[in-house]
Amino acid sequence: MSLFNEAAPPKLLNDILAATADANFAMASEPVVGSLLRTLAASKPRGRFLEIGTGTGVGSCWLLDGMDADSSLITMDNDAAVSAIAQRHLGSDPRISFVVGDAEQTLRELESESFDLIFADSFPGKFYARDETLRTLKIGGLYVIDDLLPQPTWNPDHQQNVDKLIAELDNSPSLRLVKLAYSSGLIVAVKITS
Ligand SMILES: C[S@@+](CC[C@H](N)C(=O)[O-])C[C@H]1O[C@@H](n2cnc3c(N)ncnc32)[C@H](O)[C@@H]1O
């Protein structure tokens, strides 16, 4: 075994990746990100999970693979077509609920300090509506974001958004975090105070 080989991927992943390619959806999470999500999910038995940005269900698939039978995942996306792909592959799992609509609106309706892990994989939850998102995270809960290293697809002005985001998280007294400069670049933060 090598550090460069991922552990066995979830059973449904290959089918989802094929559908993702068919749909020309280029924003799906990479396997190392998925593997991290699965590992973190496994650390939260009976956990409540939130994913902002379902896409075609790649991140959801990895999260579900780490979650125990008593855990639940809410995943949201405002693009009905990509969410439909995720729903087709993952919808029979009773632990997952799909919300199709604007995440910022939905976030306002969620209970405070109710999630054990949030994968904020969309502009809302990351670049805006972050306070609303962190409000819903339990003390001791994990906030996970990726796509923090420069990507060829970025608009020229996006780097400054990312720099601001990282600085704000670094300076937040309610978070302890680690920056992981692999894959697309990640932060894993723990909420330590409200
Ligand atoms: C990076 S992709 C998500 C990838 C997915 N989490 C994965 O692991 O493969 C970001 C998603 O956010 C969705 N999105 C963008 N703006 C949104 C909004 N305001 N509300 C909800 N979803 C949004 C996009 O439709 C897109 O599917």
Total count of domains within the chain: 1
- Residue 148 is given by DSSP the state -
Mean pLDDT, residues 122-138 taken together: 98
pLDDT band at 181 (very low <50, low <70, confident <90, very high): very high
In a domain, 137, yes or no: yes
| pLDDT number for residue 171 | 98
Residue whose CA is at the smallest distance from ligand 1 atom 12: 53
- Residue 149 belongs to domain spanning: 29-191
In a domain, 138, yes or no: yes
CA of 113 from ligand 1 middle (Å) equals 22
Are the C-beta atoms of 164 and 139 separated by less than 8 Å?
no
CA of 139 from ligand 1 middle (Å) equals 25
In a domain, 21, yes or no: no
Q: What is the mean pLDDT of the chain?
A: 96
Q: Does 65 contact ligand 1 (Cβ within 6 A)?
A: no
In a domain, 111, yes or no: yes
Q: How many Cβ atoms from other residues are within 10 Å of residue 108's Cβ?
A: 11
In a domain, 161, yes or no: yes
- Percentage of the chain beyond pLDDT 90 is 94
In a domain, 6, yes or no: no
Q: Does 50 contact ligand 1 (Cβ within 6 A)?
A: no
Residue whose CA is at the smallest distance from ligand 1 atom 11: 53
List Cβ neighbours of 82 (8 Å cut-off, separation of 6 or more).
Answer: 23, 25, 54, 55, 56
User: What CATH number does residue 135 fall under?
Assistant: 3.40.50.150
In a domain, 5, yes or no: no
pLDDT digits (tens, 9 = 90+) for 91-125: 999 999 999 999 999 999 999 999 999 999 999 99
Q: Does 86 contact ligand 1 (Cβ within 6 A)?
A: no
pLDDT digits (tens, 9 = 90+) for 18-65: 999 999 999 999 999 999 999 999 999 999 999 999 999 999 999 999
Residue whose CA is at the smallest distance from ligand 1 atom 17: 78
Q: Does 67 contact ligand 1 (Cβ within 6 A)?
A: no
The residue length of the chain stands at: 194
In a domain, 7, yes or no: no
Q: Does 77 contact ligand 1 (Cβ within 6 A)?
A: yes
Q: Which two tokens stand for residue 15?
A: 């089918």
Strand partners, 178: 188
Cα–Cα dist 10/7, whole Å: 9
pLDDT band at 146 (very low <50, low <70, confident <90, very high): very high
